[in-house]
Amino acid sequence: NIVMTQSPKSMSISVGDRVTMNCKASQNVGNNIAWYQQKPGQSPKLLIYYASNRYTGVPDRFTGGGYGTDFTLTINSVQAEDAAFYYCQRIYNSPNTFGAGTKLELK
Amino acid sequence: AVQLVESGGGLVQPKESLKISCAASGFTFSNAAMYWVRQAPGKGLEWVARIRTKPNNYATYYADSVKGRFTISRDDSKSMVYLQMDNLKTEDTAMYYCTAGGGYPEYWGQGVMVTVSS
């Protein structure tokens, strides 16, 4: 089965900084990756699908990239409301494995 | 507006069974794949199961951790999806989210808590 490895586990960033987090698949998944944001006490929210497509209503400071086994989520000019957990997920084909998540904290 | 409303959670003992449900509205249910995703307290997201649409023969898929114990099903006439959970273990304790979409979980419910404890 495919394993999704996210890095780093956590990061502490200042408002206005640019941040990039990573997701590595144990085998080639093409562009079949989604990214989700989850804040405490809330359900996850879809940010990016098929590696680089921004979901409806997602601010354009969120950008997804990558293909095959290596993927990135970049947030340009981080805002205070971006403090959250971020998860990648293999989509389209099952199993639809999630990564363990990256915690983004604001300084 | 899209709504996914889970129900049926609660406290059960190990080895017991429980069936949770999800009522969908606001989108064409019969065209959507349905998923269950869970999150143990203080932990990350874990995909549990997926059921495809009628043109895809309602194919089902399961995480290894639940295969043989959990069964996902759907009723397109009622816009409902279910998760039958048998032989529950303490490690199944989690918030269970119902999600829907095409090739990916686009819509999410608020979740229902399942606690397995003696």
pLDDT of A13? 96
| Residue among A34, A95, A100 minimizing CB distance to B44 | A100
Measured between beta carbons, which residues in chain B are less than 8 angstroms from residue A95? 47, 61, 63-64
Using the Cβ of B44 and the Cβ atoms of chain A, whether some distance falls under 8 Å is answered with yes
pLDDT of A16? 97
| Inter-chain CB proximity A44 and B35 less than 8 Å | no
Are A27 and A97 a contacting pair, CB within 8 Å? no
Using the Cβ of B96 and the Cβ atoms of chain A, whether some distance falls under 8 Å is answered with no
Query: Any residues with CB less than 8 A from the CB of A20 and at least 6 apart, and which?
Result: A72, A73, A74, A75
| Inter-chain CB proximity A95 and B63 less than 8 Å | yes
Query: Any residues with CB less than 8 A from the CB of B59 and at least 6 apart, and which?
Result: B51, B52
Main-chain phi, psi angles of A25, to 5 degrees: -90, 145
Interface of A with B in 3-62 (CB under 8 A): 32, 34, 36, 38, 43-46, 49-50, 55
How far apart, in whole angstroms, are the C-alpha atoms of residue A21 and residue A10? 9
Interface of B with A in 66-95 (CB under 8 A): none
How far apart, in whole angstroms, are the C-alpha atoms of residue A88 and residue B62? 18
How far apart, in whole angstroms, are the C-alpha atoms of residue A35 and residue A102? 11
How far apart, in whole angstroms, are the C-alpha atoms of residue A69 and residue A71? 7
pLDDT of B49? 98
How far apart, in whole angstroms, are the C-alpha atoms of residue B6 and residue B24? 9
Residues of chain B below pLDDT 70: none
Q: Per-residue b/e over A56-91, b at no fewer than 16 CB within 10 Å?
A: eebeeebbbebeebebbbebeebeeebbbbbbbbbb
Using the Cβ of B111 and the Cβ atoms of chain A, whether some distance falls under 8 Å is answered with yes
Q: What is the 3-state secondary structure (H, E, C) of B64-96?
A: CCCCCCEEEEEECCCCEEEEEECCCCHHHCEEE
C-beta neighbour count of B30 within 10 angstroms: 12
pLDDT of B102? 86
What is the amino acid identity at position B70?
Answer: F
Q: What is the pLDDT along chain A (107 residues), one digit of tens a residue?
A: 899 999 999 999 999 999 999 999 999 999 999 999 999 999 999 999 999 999 999 999 999 999 999 999 999 999 999 999 999 999 999 999 999 999 999 99
pLDDT of B37? 98
Measured between beta carbons, which residues in chain B are less than 8 angstroms from residue A1? 64
How far apart, in whole angstroms, are the C-alpha atoms of residue A45 and residue B104? 12
pLDDT of B95? 98
| Inter-chain CB proximity B45 and A89 less than 8 Å | yes
